[in-house]
Structure 1
């Protein structure tokens, strides 16, 4: 693999990731520092992390994705950051491109987008709305901060230019139906919080119309139909997340009107 002169810190956040975190960590062992922030897993994830010789494991309560990732970023010792999810794997080809990029003396970019190859269990998910997905995964700590405008599907505010790497990150997005459903429902609740913070209001039209639009758009126009049964499941559960968003938005509005009601508690990440 060769020596790298520029040090990299790899960061991950976790909650109940046994079965995924092992492969993720193996793929980022080339980093000089690996920090994983766990939001009190109950499946042995934290115990596994604590026993890992190359990992600095920290437990921190989960508020939302942006807050958790911002806290994790603060723990890094190096300027160059590789931030991956626990269900993502850096391929050898991508690892080579990462190390070449941070060690390029003529580099001018502050942050890099990664495109992702989505895996439905062990099979490729090619469409269903995910084919153009990309996220910031490699960046300089001194040049970025997580945007406070979003608490789910977090993004960076970058002081400088950005580029996209050629190699793709492998994302094992679908473990099983129950796990993906849990994620979509959580995303929906967090999006409802975002919406109410922005002053948006619940409407019955959005409750009925947005999930329908999401399913039809991803299944028909974004070619989920070509993913077979995988496409039906993913497109349905993505639409379910929108249904949950507007149900939760209605609950939050009701709580604002009746402050004595007990607030809805968030669960995990």
Structure 2
């Protein structure tokens, strides 16, 4: 008896993703449903999605990545979900691996994806990203996003995991300013996460941590082999860490001020 293929929900969160989202949507049109949760984009992303015949788009305010992805996960009607970032693209060979899973040829409940990072339209082969992998395909009934992180969210899986051979294409770098704003935003969110966990700002942290980030990505993780691209990515990643330190300091000052204002 031939098993019926299980259905798949493709899930994406967006905010001002024109230039990325088009390729992402096109690559997941094989899914049985495509659901996008948009946090009130202002660049035409929402209008594009609204007009797309294969997409169900919902607008929902963004608090952090974990809460937004948890909300999006609840919208899926199928157990198997493919959760992508708006700047990720599923290749044809990877699509075939996913279809094998949907045909019932696995006992795994989740799958890791390695990613190939693209600097504009050129592959970034080193700079710390060569071993990057994330959960992207999983059973909704067997996984949840941990509430311990609000950026670089963590999926908790109840069951066995597999890993695909083919890589997911990640168009992480459209232009300098776009990537810079991403890194600054991640840095601020990471600082909030650390603040809630009662981690403290120190000037030593601000002096050492950004330098170490650059050194690690450019030298230890072989960013210099990516040429000028490696310098740019390593610098902007370090800038994100510097923003993390500055934001952590701002949050502590704000908290101190609030404390003194409420003192009798």
TM-score bin (small chain): over 0.9
Is it true that 1:135 corresponds to 2:134 in the alignment? yes
Aligned to 1:66: 66
Per-residue deviation, 1:102: 2.4
Aligned to 1:266: none
Counterpart-to-counterpart distance in 2, 1:75 and 1:165: 25
Aligned to 1:216: 215
Counterpart-to-counterpart distance in 1, 2:258 and 2:52: 45
Q: Determine if contact 1:218/1:224 at 8 Å carries over to the other structure.
A: yes
The two structures, once aligned, show a CA RMSD in angstroms of 1.3
Aligned to 1:150: 149
Aligned to 2:94: 94
Deviations 1:91-113 (A, max 9, x none): 000000001012224x2211111
Q: Which moved more, 1:31-40 or 1:96-105?
A: 96-105
Per-residue deviation, 1:260: 7.8
Aligned to 1:47: 47
Per-residue deviation, 1:255: 1.1
Counterpart-to-counterpart distance in 2, 1:141 and 1:83: 10
Q: Residues 1-16 of structure 1 correspond to what in structure 2 (within 5 A)?
A: 5-16=5-16
Q: Residues 158-197 of structure 1 correspond to what in structure 2 (within 5 A)?
A: 158-197=157-196
Is it true that 1:27 corresponds to 2:2 in the alignment? no
Deviations 1:38-91 (A, max 9, x none): 011111000000010000000001101111100000000000000011111000
Secondary structure of 2:63's aligned partner:
coil
Is it true that 1:118 corresponds to 2:117 in the alignment? yes
Aligned to 1:251: 250
If the length of structure 1 is used for normalisation, what is the TM-score?
A: 0.94
Counterpart-to-counterpart distance in 2, 1:140 and 1:93: 21
Q: Determine if contact 1:18/1:45 at 8 Å carries over to the other structure.
A: yes
Aligned to 1:267: none
If the length of structure 2 is used for normalisation, what is the TM-score?
A: 0.96
Gaps of 5+ in 2: none
Q: Determine if contact 1:24/1:86 at 8 Å carries over to the other structure.
A: yes
Segments ≥4 residues shifted beyond 6 Å? none
Counterpart-to-counterpart distance in 2, 1:259 and 1:96: 55
**Residues 132 and 51 of structure 1: CA distance in aligned 2, closer, same or farther (over 3 Å):** same
Per-residue deviation, 1:153: 0.6
Counterpart-to-counterpart distance in 2, 1:67 and 1:103: 31
Per-residue deviation, 1:4: 6.6
Per-residue deviation, 1:16: 0.8
Aligned to 2:38: 38
